[in-house]
A and B are shown apart, each in its own frame.
Chain A
Amino acid sequence: MNENTATAKPSFITRLANPSRFIGLADRLIPWLTGIGLILTAIGLVGGWLAPEDYQQGATVRIMYLHVPFAWLAMMIYGVMTLAALGTLVWRHPIADISLKAAAPIGAVFTLLSLFTGSVWGKPMWGTWWVWDARLTSMFVLFLIYLGLIALTRATPEPGQAARAAAIVTLVGALNLPIIKFSVDWWNTLHQPASVFRAGGPTIDWSMLWPLLVAAIGFTILFSALHLTAMRTEIWRRRVHTMRRLAAQRADRTMGGTA
């Protein structure tokens, strides 16, 4: 943009509406985010292994250092998609639908992993792999919503054609987020109530809390690296699609001219 013609400096978010500028930023950020994310995750998990065992759960408390970050990400990624849905519906930001579509499979994997790690933690501690209590069921519903959104964002021949529909479904599905968070307070669940993000502060001892927080931050940074990678790929996919269509139209015109 020419500095002389610009009357107001566009915000950072507005400037990212240019996909080429977004790709330039992603190119620079992805290696750093991957490196920092891997290091922090490693520090958190090793710290978790060196932390004392739980006085009731013994060594199985080690599963917490995976389970809690995965569950946090399962919900945070849906939060990112909810913001992206607003970006599509309210501001028609061109990158918003790309963000939503790219985040869905990553969110689904983290949700599945939170259910999986919870299950192999539940078996030795609760004596069962699964119960249909409010927390587990609402988390399972989140997984199904992710699957639905993956299908919807990939169902149309033209990439991005389902942007509005996917945004609306995402917003409706966001109703599930507070249900997941407060399910342990509203209903009688086998799952324990919150012990980190709760009024009155965490109830976990610092020796276990710091590795948990570092691992959660590390996994979150790793998610941002994966998300940016998937978004950049999606921009490229749409460019390929447009260029092929234009090439086909040109070929069509040439054929028409010679016939």
Chain B
Amino acid sequence: MSHFAYIAVAYGGSALALAGLALWLVSDMRARRRELDHLHDAGHRRRSDRQETLREAK
């Protein structure tokens, strides 16, 4: 294997792993955001959201 191949493997592997990590974190973020929105739409509120709920009811 030429030196260039080792360098390419190092850069390619690193880019893949970091892109995979970022993708995983973003998809986890989106899924949790969706769950919160669904709960919110179903009328579930956190206690600290209650002020907001009262305002919406008016």
Please give the residue numbers on chain A whose beta carbons come within 8 Å of chain B beta carbons, in ascending order: 20, 58-60, 62-63, 66-67, 70, 105-106, 109, 112-113, 116-117, 120-121, 123-124, 226, 229-230, 232-233, 236-237, 239-240, 242-244, 246-247
Contacts of B9 in A (CB 8 A): 120
Give Cα A152 to B26, complex, Å. Answer: 22
Contact between A66 and B11, CB atoms less than 8 A apart: yes
Contact between A123 and B25, CB atoms less than 8 A apart: no
Contact between B3 and A60, CB atoms less than 8 A apart: yes
Contact between B17 and A232, CB atoms less than 8 A apart: no
What distance in Å separates the Cβ of A61 from its nearest Cβ neighbour in chain B? 9
Residues 6-22 of B, flagged 1 when their CB comes within 8 A of A and 0 if not, give 11011101100110011
B36 in complex: contacting residue of A112, A229, A240, A246, CB < 8 Å: A240
Contacts of A240 in B (CB 8 A): 32, 35-36, 39
Contact between A60 and B25, CB atoms less than 8 A apart: no
A232 in complex: contacting residue of B11, B18, B29, CB < 8 Å: B29
Contacts of B22 in A (CB 8 A): 226
Give Cα A63 to B14, complex, Å. Answer: 10
Contacts of A226 in B (CB 8 A): 21-22, 25
Contact between B25 and A233, CB atoms less than 8 A apart: yes
Give Cα A105 to B10, complex, Å. Answer: 20
Contacts of A109 in B (CB 8 A): 17-18, 21
Give Cα A238 to B55, complex, Å. Answer: 25
Contact between A59 and B32, CB atoms less than 8 A apart: no
Please give the residue numbers on chain B whose beta carbons come within 8 Å of chain A beta carbons, in ascending order: 1, 3-4, 6-7, 9-11, 13-14, 17-18, 21-22, 25-26, 28-29, 32-33, 35-36, 39, 44, 46, 48
Contacts of A247 in B (CB 8 A): 39, 44
Contact between A237 and B32, CB atoms less than 8 A apart: yes
New A-B pairs, 19, CB < 8 Å, besides A60-B3, A124-B1, A226-B25: A20-B48, A60-B6, A62-B10, A62-B11, A63-B7, A70-B14, A109-B17, A109-B18, A109-B21, A117-B10, A120-B13, A124-B3, A124-B6, A226-B21, A232-B29, A236-B33, A243-B44, A247-B39, A247-B44
Contacts of B25 in A (CB 8 A): 226, 229-230, 233
A-B contact list, 29 entries, CB within 8 Å: A20-B48, A58-B3, A59-B3, A60-B7, A62-B10, A63-B6, A63-B7, A66-B10, A66-B11, A70-B14, A105-B21, A109-B17, A113-B14, A116-B10, A116-B13, A116-B17, A117-B10, A117-B13, A117-B14, A123-B1, A226-B25, A229-B25, A230-B28, A233-B25, A233-B28, A236-B29, A239-B46, A240-B36, A247-B44
